[in-house]
Chain A
């Protein structure tokens, strides 16, 4: 089935460790790609997005993601995490010319130990 997959449901890191969260999608054609974050008790917020152009996109709070079309991947990275990055991270996709609905991955809960 066509979907969005996030590889890890729970990740625990120590502060200053590097982060990479995997995201793969299985749709053909042109897609728009997003990473959303949900901090404890807060609503979903956009971290970054990719529509076209440079496949390496930079978002807020030092996050970046790389779109690799051949691998159908859009992995999220941060070189050095902080305790305040503890949150749930969602990868999401919209398919161009198929409406604007977001299709979400299952989410990855990141816990950063101080």
Chain B
């Protein structure tokens, strides 16, 4: 069964550094998403992406964040200058945009900012 993959599984970085989290969505999917979950808190929507542009973003997704689909398979989330409060599990999801709009989630990347 096709699945969403994410790399790395765990990333440790120092405050102020840039990080890029990578996702490979399911190949025929058209809609891509990033969510995050800070330890002990809810899973929160960050951004959705369709047709090579952001279709919706949350207030969390400020100028420090960006997303890109650099080729036909990868979908990346970049945090330009990480803060301690960016420490969280980041989940990528994709959907085919069909009626069901079911989103398939990757295993997540645990980002630790020190």
Residues of A within 8 A of B (CB): 32, 34, 36, 42-46, 49, 51, 90, 92, 94, 99-107
Q: Known contacts being A104-B42, A104-B43, A105-B42, is A99 close to B105, with CB within 8 Å?
A: no
Which of A42, A100, A106 meets B42, CB within 8 Å?
A106
Q: A87 vs B15: C-alpha distance in the bound complex, in angstroms? A: 33
A to B CB contacts below 8 Å, 17 in the list: A34-B102, A36-B105, A43-B108, A44-B91, A49-B102, A51-B99, A94-B101, A101-B45, A101-B48, A102-B33, A102-B43, A102-B103, A103-B45, A104-B42, A104-B43, A104-B44, A106-B42
Q: Are A99 and B42 in contact (CB under 8 A)?
A: no
Residues of B within 8 A of A (CB): 3-4, 31, 33, 35, 41-45, 48, 55-56, 58, 91, 93, 95, 99-108
Closest to B45 in A: A101
